Amino acid sequence: MRHSEEEEEEEEEALDDWFIDSLKTYTDLHVYELEQATRVLEWTSQTTVCVAGFSASKNQILELSLPLRLLAQQNKGLCAERDFKVVHGGFSDTPIHSFKHIPGTRCAVSSGGQSCSLLLWDLGGDDTDVIKRTGQIKVKCESSAGRDGEDGADGGDREDREVGAEWSRGRQMAAPPSQSSEPRILHGATTNDVQLTDINTGKQLYTIQEVITPVQCQSPSPVSTSSGDGAFVCGSVNGSVLEADSRSPAPPTCHPAPSVRSPAPTSSAPWSMDACGGLVVRSRASGQTVVSDLRRMDSCVAQALVSASDGKNRGSLNVSWSPALQHHIALSGVSGLVQIHNTSLWGAELQAAHAQFEHRGHVVSSPEDDVITTSHAWHPERPRTLLSAASDASVHVWDWNHQSESSE
């Protein structure tokens, strides 16, 4: 009992120390507690974000507005409002593992569990605060073999209970911007199952026809090109990258995974990928992180060995480029931390790199011993503002002070 009391005192001291330190290291820091943990942090505007639960039972979908104090351009001390506000809300009877807002609309698409169907949602407007389901898109996919051909909720829920925290299952999605007026969704569960679908009609606009060895899909990403908006890349958990163009009959190009440079015990760790501005970043829990140029995927622009994991092999690594802070990436998902790295400081040879900034708020403030980050999202315009969520159902929005950055 005494040992427990000593541990509690140490935890309180650590929290106090971090809080005092945070006054210098953060420009803004706000905390919100959900009823359920979320792996969805989806921007619907510059000031609102959607969250959604992924449990086997009923799940909340909420659209939250950011704290007004965070958004204040000046005289923040005069703005007393520090809380998130629920703007719209609804419920889903199935787990939501992926949720994408369609740009320029009040519509969203969700995916969850092992279901091949995509669910459509109306996010509400000025006349209603209810988020409601408006339909579904039944998708023919390789991963549906042997399962119910309907929405797959029962099978998906049963599978979810079996896999526990293996959150990367389900169809991965991206909502590419379109020059046409027809909203579209890019989605896939494996690399031979990636499709582009018209949301209004459910019509399949593009699918990969090549017979290739299916690998679990990870983070499909539209790629901007000078000729239009049909190009995309799709990462896989084995580190390979599929590059395709929905406007072309040519087969997709498959770029192999980076050569393994990490210790053998963790060499089987899955890869996470993101693409932005012609650059692709691939990272894994073992720490190996590689930046490549889409025009020369056979070479390495920069790489580093980072320490994103705490060694407990939990969760699923997430890596993402900042849309507003050049060369910067965020890593989360395999510990309670969110790490920020500046890849412009890396070289072509593999060397250890320290995080430029670490958000430790979920670790020091959580009642859970093994809290883990479930998602993070960069603000689309504010360079150093991020949202992060954790397994204890906490959501943090924070803006770190650039003067607190460490040199790698």
Pairwise CA distance, residues 98 & 319, whole Å: 15
Pairwise CA distance, residues 181 & 201, whole Å: 13
Name the nearest CA neighbour of 156 among 141, 142, 171. Answer: 171
Query: For position 227, what pLDDT does the model report?
Result: 45
Query: For position 332, what pLDDT does the model report?
Result: 96
Question: What count of residues does the chain have?
Answer: 408
Q: What is the mean pLDDT of residues 243-256?
A: 88
Q: What is the CA radius of gyration of the chain?
A: 21
Pairwise CA distance, residues 157 & 145, whole Å: 17
Q: Confirm if 313 and 284 have CB atoms less than 8 A apart.
A: no
Q: How many C-beta atoms lie closer than 10 Å to residue 39's C-beta?
A: 24
**Tens-place pLDDT, residues 159-218:** 333 333 343 457 889 988 766 668 999 998 888 888 899 999 999 999 886 545 556 776
Query: For position 20, what pLDDT does the model report?
Result: 84
Pairwise CA distance, residues 225 & 228, whole Å: 6
Pairwise CA distance, residues 273 & 319, whole Å: 6
Residue type, 135: G
- Label residue 2 by pLDDT band (50, 70, 90): very low
CA distances from 113 to 89, 142, 271, 376 (A): 21, 15, 20, 20
Q: What is the mean pLDDT of residues 218-247?
A: 77
Name the nearest CA neighbour of 379 among 310, 306, 328. Answer: 328
Name the nearest CA neighbour of 241 among 225, 254, 230. Answer: 254
Name which of 34-38, 245-249, 286-290, 302-306 the model is least confident about. Answer: 245-249
Is the pLDDT confidence value at 149 over 90? no
**Tens-place pLDDT, residues 343-373:** 999 999 999 999 999 999 999 988 888 899 9
Is the pLDDT confidence value at 136 over 90? yes
**Tens-place pLDDT, residues 305-346:** 998 877 666 778 999 999 999 999 999 999 999 999 999 999
Q: What sign does the CA torsion over 67, 134, 55, 170 have?
A: negative
Mean pLDDT of the chain: 83
Tokens 């969110």 correspond to what residue? 338
Note every long-range contact of 340-345, with CB atoms under 8 Å and residues 24 or more positions apart, other chains counting.
Answer: 340/400, 340/405, 341/289, 341/304, 341/306, 341/408, 342/408, 343/281, 343/291, 343/302, 343/304, 344/302, 345/407, 345/408
Tokens 């001390």 correspond to what residue? 77
- Label residue 53 by pLDDT band (50, 70, 90): very high
Query: For position 79, what pLDDT does the model report?
Result: 55
Note every long-range contact of 8-13, with CB atoms under 8 Å and residues 24 or more positions apart, other chains counting.
Answer: 11/364
Strands 318-321, 302-305: pairing kind: unpaired
